[in-house]
Amino acid sequence: MKWLLTLLLAVFTATFGVSCTSVRHNAVLSNAEAAFRKPPSLTGTEWLLTDLPGTTVIATSKASFSVLENGRAAGNASCNRFTATVEISGSTIKFGSVASTRMVCGDEALTAQESRFLEFLSAANRFEMSDPYLLVFANGHDQPLHFIRIPPNTFD
């Protein structure tokens, strides 16, 4: 009887060990987590500004942009919303004329950041992506803008 229990325990241990190591099942991901793990694309992804060369980004400004399906870009310049046409080909990017709302920022630093951000986007000429980061380079600027990909529905 003792040898039978030992044999059953050995078979159970071997079966359990093989089943745990031979097949690995991934848990079902939530929509937000699955979207965040998806390889980034400029189109349909929102990018949050994390570094504006020459100044510190005001954390509460939520300066960001996204490229829409119709060849347009839209975002938050710091205190005003903006939109522009955008052309992307390979790693080149060019923003057209920028239109924005005209709310008063109420803070000189926020106003300066917004002006610099929109000026930089207007001069943009190329980009580099390395998930979850985006660098946007511009004519007349030595350093790029730094962005991080925003998971869907973060600011909703």
pLDDT recorded at residue 143: 96
pLDDT recorded at residue 111: 94
In the three-class reduction of DSSP (H, G, I as helix; E, B as strand; rest coil), residue 72 is classed as: strand
- Sequence spans of domains, the chain: 41-150
Q: For domain 41-150, which architecture applies?
A: Beta Barrel (2.40)
For the chain, 156 residues long, the average pLDDT of each consecutive 10-residue run is 54 51 48 54 90 91 93 96 96 95 91 95 96 94 95 67
pLDDT recorded at residue 115: 94
Nearest CA-CA partner of 150 in 59, 64, 53: 64
pLDDT recorded at residue 133: 94
Distance CA 47, CA 76 (A): 10
pLDDT recorded at residue 61: 92
pLDDT recorded at residue 108: 93
